[in-house]
Amino acid sequence: MSSFDAPGVTIHLDEETQREVVSDPEALLAWCRSHPADPRTVAYLRMLGRLDEAAIAGRQALAQEVSSPLMRAVRRARYAHVLQWQGAFVAAEEQLDLAAEESGLEDPTSPSSLSILATVFQHRAKCRFEHALAEQRDQRPLAAGRLWEAALEDAQRALYMRERLGVAEEDVIDSSRRLVRRLERRDLER
């Protein structure tokens, strides 16, 4: 299980579900309460399962004026991730599609634009992965299979971009590798 640090806590990634698990939820919630305007609060509230609060914070973050389309794309991706966890997969994918467009508005060939686009692809892959699992649970195997393949394509795009950009840290590249491996298992029931 891989991990990363957030303010005062360690967050682990569950290899099976591809969701974050917080080591000290109370400490992270205290940080969120102390930093309500920090854009990372959206993601942290989501990880804590406080999805209604995260959605409100995400919408507020999007409503704020930001000078950079890249920053807007990052905020939109965080909000989309909340929608994903709420099970609003179509709305989440729409937000991620918009984030992908926004990531190329400044300079579509800059490393920062491509890095954010790779992140958007990775988030969309996770969203489609969870959507595929939901479709499978609802006895819609064809839809599940299509979503799974689309998730794998997005994960492969994210990995390809991250490996070739030269700006991603090794743990970020590794997270893309783990997602691709998870999706390559193709363990949906057919």
The predicted-structure confidence for 63-73, as pLDDT tens digits, reads as follows 988 878 999 99
| Closest to 83 measured CA to CA, from 139, 124, 31 | 124
Q: What average pLDDT does this structure show over 87-96? A: 97
Contact in structure between 57 and 75 (CB atoms under 8 Å): no
Residue 182 in this model has a pLDDT that exceeds 80 = yes
Give me the CATH code for the 2-184 domain, please.
1.25.40.10
| 3-class secondary structure, 50 | coil
Question: How high is the mean pLDDT of the chain?
Answer: 91
Give every strand in the sheet of 9-13, ordered side by side.
2-6, 9-13, 20-22
The predicted-structure confidence for 137-172, as pLDDT tens digits, reads as follows 999 999 999 999 999 999 999 999 999 987 788 888
Kindly report the pTM of this predicted structure: 0.90
What distance in Å separates the CA atoms of residue 26 and residue 170, rounded to the nearest whole number? 29
Residue 1 in this model has a pLDDT that exceeds 60 = no
Pair of tokens at residue 24: 């000290």
Integer-rounded Cα Rg, in Å, for the chain is 16
Phi and psi angles of residue 76, each rounded to the nearest 5 degrees, phi first: -65, -40
What pLDDT score was predicted for residue 120?
95
Give the residue extent of every domain in the chain.
2-184
